[in-house]
Chains A and B, each alone.
Chain A
Amino acid sequence: MQELILSQTVFFAVLALFGLGAISSLFFRKDDKLANLAGSFFAILGSLLGIVYAVAALYSDTSIFYEMKSSFPLLSYNFNIDRLAAFFIFIISLISLFCSIYGAGYIKHFYGKYNIGTLGFFYNLFIAGMLLVVSSSNILFFLIAWEIMSLASYFLVIYERDKQENIKAGFLYFVMTHIGTAFIILALLLLYKFAGSFDFLAIKEAVGSIPPLAKDAIFILAFIGFGTKAGIIPMHIWLPAAHPAAPSHVSALMSGVMIKTGIYMMIRIFFDILPNAPVWWGTVILICGATSALLGVLYALTEHDIKRLLAYHSIENIGIILLGLGSALVFAALNMKSFAALALIASLFHILNHAVFKSLLFLGAGSVISKTHTRNIEEYGGLIKHMPQTALFFLAGSMAISALPPFNGFFSEWLTFQALFEGIKSMSSFYRWIFVFSAGSLVLTSGLALACFVKAFGLTFLARPRSEAVKHAKESSFSLRLGMATLAVLCLLLGLLSGFLFAIFNKILQGIKSFGDYDPALVVSQNHLISVNGGFSSISAPAIFAVLILAGIAAFAIIRLISKDQKVKIGATWDCGTNLGPRMEITSTGFSRTIIMIFKGILKPSKQAGIEYSDANMRYFPKSRTMVFEISDVYKKYFYKPLYSFVFKISARVKKIQSGNVNAYVLYIFMALILLLFFAV
């Protein structure tokens, strides 16, 4: 059976289903319902088959290799699916499945406004592109897949093209993703130059022929290139703009899965293709991870736009993933394979967890937006009464991302902490401080993430409605709730089954060149007790779950016991004789103001107060007071704008050679020819 599932036919059937989804959706573009049905149906089918295929590949003892020759000599459509690739195929298919179920209902509010066929076409193409990225084994083929993924997602970002801000966000994404691609191309061409092959497997074999300096250059280029796609600070500027612009189920895929393709390629190159990395590679990643995590959550706290808030949390979580990845590289460089494996497992587990809870949160936000028609948190409030199920699912996602037990986020962050603590315990002075800084950053990040989601959930679902749209909001349709409900259950299950999952992660690592056989620092006992480094720390997911259930029951029983003789009297809330209104509630700005002021050195907030008096001569009774509280984008201000000005100045000078004179152009060609001949001979 496993052989049959892992056959070339099944793999191509997965891709073909997405292809069919794309084409059929476009074919029925004149009928919104049919286009939605075709696009969603094939996407769901493709995702289901993808999950089956990925699970079979995860349990396979060997890597799977498919080869298709092309008519171009350097290009071949080679696929290599080892356990690492299978793990990413699983994540892509899993999230695509729930996003597609959700999308089938969500897309309906675009009927008659935008072309549903185009959305279905690019959506299916986007998923197929991601699958190709993680399975391709040829550099040129990989770059084609990377471009398919990037371009399809670009068209999805600008799907709601009537909104000017979406076009701007799309342009920023397009520019940034191609700057990243330029770095990636350079890194991969360097690999080709020294290994003499475009095939990743052949490059892996010829790694000895790559000099250390070239390896360092490849690391820097690949880290910038793939880091741009992953949204690492300071290459992140496209992410908070592009992710919110796309339809919510696409935002979920982009934030939950697409950015992880950058992380996948980092693991592939730094651990598998170029093993025995120097220790500074890991140090750089650790510092970048710690910075991204902390700054990501700080920026999320300042946001009023629910989707931008979630997008900033993606930057934060990529930072957490990088903390695991960086630690693993440092440990691997110092030949501490067991700890390296522990750290990389933490990273892989967080990749899976973040994919699940972040897509859940984006889908939840999408449901709210589709009913309130705004992304501004300030205009929500009290939605728990109108959308109770959406509120429950969003709460599950919020708890998971805030690393609260027994949800999945807690266990991967706990494991990341263990890796960092092992680093502090076992490293010498300089590296120890790097690990101390990283652990400190993660502590702060976790706390701030919790604060941020108290704000996000509280202001969205609790208290009183702050706009008319909220008062008329209704619960989302079945397909939307089904998509969210399954992801919410998964958040809980992945936490409970974390012990079982670690065995799979160990298997994945055995296929990576940097690891091979190693003594696992992470041991899971038969009663699901997860133990790190021979008892350095241990945890049991079922025990935590049981304690929480018991605590809940106990609390419920105590409340019942205390209040059994008390009468419940329901009345209006007393508010000094005035009517209760939304203005009496704490705002998003008010909630985060204190934290922003603590970090004002980093966030650089600006406050502008305005006051208007009823009588210019008597200043006791103001007519109105205004307060504008803004956070300046320091990256744009201090990095991108100066860089843009510099490039603009150079371009203005270079433009002069474009005189419009044909003779001058021929002279350039002539000079170039002579120079080329001069250097060639």
Chain B
Amino acid sequence: MIDAMNNSFFQFTAITAVFLSAVLLHITKRNSTAVSLYFIQSLAVAALLFRPLFENFSLAVLLMAGLTLAIKAAVAPLFFSRLIKRHQLKFSASTYLNTPLTLIVIAALAALTNSRIFSHIASIDPDNKKILGLAIAVILVSFFLIINRKGAVSQIIGILSLENGIVAFALFSGLEQSPALQIGVIFDLFVWVIIAAVFISMIYKQFGSLDVTELKHLKE
């Protein structure tokens, strides 16, 4: 009983950390802070993946969780940190909405999570309804981060944060797939991070800034 309570507390703490880091990603203006927040978020997701190993050890799950930790909490942040250093990209480009308005939209999105639409989805697993609600909130807030930010680094971190939200949702809703498939997804993510890093460099070289609104000049 105590074990179950501990487990539930651990899970709730981890998903709260994931959610809070997604919210803080909206507030921070420094790119390095955004990378650190993503690191924390990924660490929380990896912790969630490691947790079942304490009850039933499985080599495949260990490998999958280890790879997630390595790619999300080590390789990706490292890539972005180097990129920021190389191009001296200290601050993220501007946002469409100012901070108070951004916080209001985040609050609205969090409220939407508890609406009729999403409460149906969160009820997939009634035991984890609150956690699933938070995971959906992470997805929506990350989506909003991609929409609201003009900087390429913030947008890419937003996409990675969105992916963390989806992983958390899948984990608690029982939609987990086989470890082999999850490893495949991680590999996919790894390739994507590399491509995104190259893409950021190309945008910077072409336009001298990371403002994605400049991309519209590529239109004929």
Contact = CB atoms under 8 A, between A and B. Distances in A.
Contact of A663 (B116, B120, B121, B146): B146
A661 interface: yes
B204 to A, nearest CB: 15
Contact of B117 (A662, A663, A667, A681): A681
B143 A670 contact: yes
Interface stretch (B6-14, B17-25, B173-181, B210-218): B210-218
B218 A660 contact: yes
Given A661-B213, A663-B96, A670 B147 contact: yes
B215 A660 contact: yes
B216 A659 contact: yes
A666 interface: yes
A677 interface: yes
B219 A663 contact: no
B156 to A, nearest CB: 11
B123 to A, nearest CB: 11
B72 interface: no
A406 B215 CA distance: 73
Contacts of A678: 117
Interface in B136-159: 143-144, 146-150, 155
B118 interface: yes
B121 A662 contact: no
Contacts of B118: 677
A663 B118 CA distance: 24
Interface string A654-670: 00000111110011001
Contact of B147 (A663, A674, A677, A681): A663
A534 to B, nearest CB: 70
A663 B150 contact: yes
A666 B147 contact: yes
Contact of B155 (A660, A662, A673, A674): A662
Interface residues of A, number: 13
A663 B212 contact: yes
Interface of B is mostly: helix
A669 to B, nearest CB: 8
Interface of A is mostly: helix
A681 B116 contact: yes
A174 to B, nearest CB: 23
A667 B218 contact: no
Contacts of B212: 661-663
A677 B121 contact: yes
A656 B116 CA distance: 34
Interface string B110-146: 0000001110110000000000000000000001101
A663 B216 contact: no
Contact of B219 (A660, A666, A667, A670): A660
Contact of A666 (B117, B120, B146, B216): B146
Interface in A632-681: 659-663, 666-667, 670, 673-674, 677-678, 681
A151 B120 CA distance: 46
B215 A662 contact: yes
A681 B147 CA distance: 25
Contacts of B215: 660-662
B136 to A, nearest CB: 10
A663 B144 CA distance: 9
Given A662-B212, A663-B213, A666-B143, A677 B117 contact: yes
Contacts of B218: 660
A678 B117 CA distance: 6
A666 B155 CA distance: 10
Q: Which of B120, B147, B216, B218 has its CB near the most chain A CB atoms (within 10 A)?
A: B147
Contacts of B217: 660
Contacts of B219: 660
A681 B217 CA distance: 40
Interface in B161-220: 212-213, 215-219
A666 B145 CA distance: 10
A484 B213 CA distance: 66
Nearest to A668: B147
Contacts of B148: 663
A51 B144 CA distance: 65
Contacts of A666: 143, 146-147
Contacts of A660: 215-219
The 8 A-B pairs with the shortest beta carbon distances in the complex, nearest first, are: A660-B216, A660-B219, A662-B212, A666-B146, A681-B120, A681-B117, A667-B147, A670-B143
Interface of B: 96, 116-118, 120-121, 143-144, 146-150, 155, 212-213, 215-219
Given A661-B213, A670-B147, A677-B121, 8 more contacts: A660-B216, A661-B215, A662-B213, A663-B149, A663-B212, A666-B143, A670-B143, A673-B143
15 contacts: A661-B213, A661-B215, A662-B213, A662-B215, A663-B96, A663-B148, A663-B149, A663-B150, A663-B213, A666-B143, A666-B146, A670-B143, A677-B118, A678-B117, A681-B116
Interface of A: 659-663, 666-667, 670, 673-674, 677-678, 681
